[in-house]
């Protein structure tokens, strides 16, 4: 089974439960359960990778190949234009932060993952 979105899995589940599929409903429901478990595990793994490498990333130290793309795809970081406050950060120039450039920022989901890793609650 290819990667399906949550809404596609939901539609497939409804079709299986209502008998609107040519496949055995029990098999379809089992595969949907496996897909959801895989999605849960992938999110947990992505969260662990965020926690493991965020500090190094912020320090402009090496991170695994494809890490930024994976964290963006997971919804933990996003690319934004630099702001004046970004230029005031210590070692901004050394970290590649410059006027008119871009900077990776945490999303709410990314902040929640990091806060949870420190035992903090998020608003």
Q: Which residues contact residue 56 at a Cβ distance below 8 angstroms, ignoring those fewer than 6 apart?
A: 62, 63
Q: Which of 27, 26, 32 is nearest to 13 (CA)?
A: 32
Three-class DSSP category at 73: helix
Q: Give the tens place of pLDDT for each residue, 41-51.
A: 778 788 899 99
**DSSP summary character for residue 14:** H
Classify residue 106 as left (phi > 0), alpha (psi -120 to 50) or beta. beta
Q: What is the structure's pLDDT at 38?
A: 66
Q: At what angle do helices 25-58 and 108-117 cross, to 10 degrees?
A: 80
Checking if the pLDDT of 1 tops 60, the result is: no
pLDDT in tens, 62-82: 999 999 999 999 999 999 999
pTM of the full structure: 0.64
What is the DSSP-derived secondary structure letter of residue 81? Answer: E
Which tokens in the block code for residue 1? 């089974």
Q: What is the pLDDT of residue 43?
A: 81
Residue 40 has pLDDT above 80, yes or no: no
What is the domain partition of the chain in residue ranges?
6-117
Residue 2 — very low, low, confident or very high, per pLDDT cuts 50/70/90?
A: low
């Amino acid at each position: 089974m290819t990667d399906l979105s949550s809404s596609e899995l939901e539609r497939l589940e409804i079709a299986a439960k209502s008998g609107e599929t040519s496949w055995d409903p029990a098999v379809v429901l089992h595969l949907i359960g496996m897909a959801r478990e895989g999605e849960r595990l992938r999110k947990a793994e992505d969260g662990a990778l965020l926690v493991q490498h965020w500090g190094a990333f912020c320090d402009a130290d090496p991170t695994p190949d494809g890490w930024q793309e994976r964290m963006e795809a997971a919804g933990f970081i996003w690319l934004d234009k630099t702001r004046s406050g970004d230029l005031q950060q210590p070692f901004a120039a050394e970290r590649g932060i410059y006027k008119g450039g871009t900077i990776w920022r945490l999303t709410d989901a990314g902040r929640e993952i990091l806060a949870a890793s420190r035992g903090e609650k998020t608003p």
